[in-house]
Amino acid sequence: MTTVDLTGRVALVTGGAGGIGAAVARRLAKLGAKVAVLDVDAAGAHRVASAVGGIAIAGDVSDPATMPAAVAQVEKELGRLDVVHLNAGIGGGQTGVDDALDVARYRKLVGVNVDHVVYGLCAAVPALRRQGGGKVVITASLAGITAMPTDPLYTLTKHAVVGYARAAGKALAGDNITVSALCPGFVDTLLLGAAKEEFAAASFPLLTPSDVAEAVQSVLAEGGPGEAWIIQPGGKATAYDFRGVPGVGGGQMPPDVVLGRV
């Protein structure tokens, strides 16, 4: 793992009240950053922010007004923005294939897992440009690069996030803004719910939030524009090698080809 010096830098972490977000907030503070912790759990955000010497922001990231307001508050109180970890996420809670779809629950899933990423990046880019560039890491999942049949709706949102990060990363590279996705395997957080007991019974190894925070550090230090990094228990964080796709008239297009309008 390559270290990175964030002394004098400012970071914003969404979903920062617990789990991966709290671990990342602690890691970024240890690396020298001032950290803004955003979460719908106001008390949790304040608890983590106090522990790392940062600021707390309460808000629902699925609300389109939350991320622009959060970025404005960060710049006002901390003076700048250099690193953004768009981490907030929730589980599907329904299959979306063989049950009656709870539309409100589905819209909330998409709002937190997908819309918040778009709102967050759009809000952060002007602030990052004012500093001459910056880093954005989006928490996706292995479900963003492979199928998770136990939760198709969650898989849908994480595939969307990976695709968005890959395209946005290329689009913003010229602004010295590096956008990358991080795709962890199963992590020991509250998101696992009752499944945690099944993993334990099967002696299935889980990542810890600290493992993922370490991977975020690796992505900040070494991640390239539009890359998707994976991390599994017992392994090192590494960029995923996407295959190319068939080209016009046969042959193989490279995996990161820029598609123009036809």
Query: Which 3 state secondary structure label does DSSP give 195?
Result: helix
User: Helix, strand or coil for residue 28?
Assistant: helix
Identify whether the C-beta of residue 152 lies closer than 8 Å to the C-beta of residue 93.
no
DSSP secondary structure string for all residues of 119-183:
HHHHHHHHHHHHTT-EEEEEE--GGGTS--TT-HHHHHHHHHHHHHHHHHHHHHGGGTEEEEEEE
Catalytic residue among 106, 154, 164, 240: 154
Distance CA 195, CA 190 (A): 10
Residue 96 CA to residue 262 CA, distance in Å, equals 34
CA distances from residue 43 to 75, 104, 172, 206 in whole angstroms, order as listed: 22, 26, 35, 27
C-alpha to C-alpha distance for 114 and 116, rounded to whole angstroms: 5
Respond yes or no: is residue 154 known to be catalytic: yes
Active site positions, annotated: 154
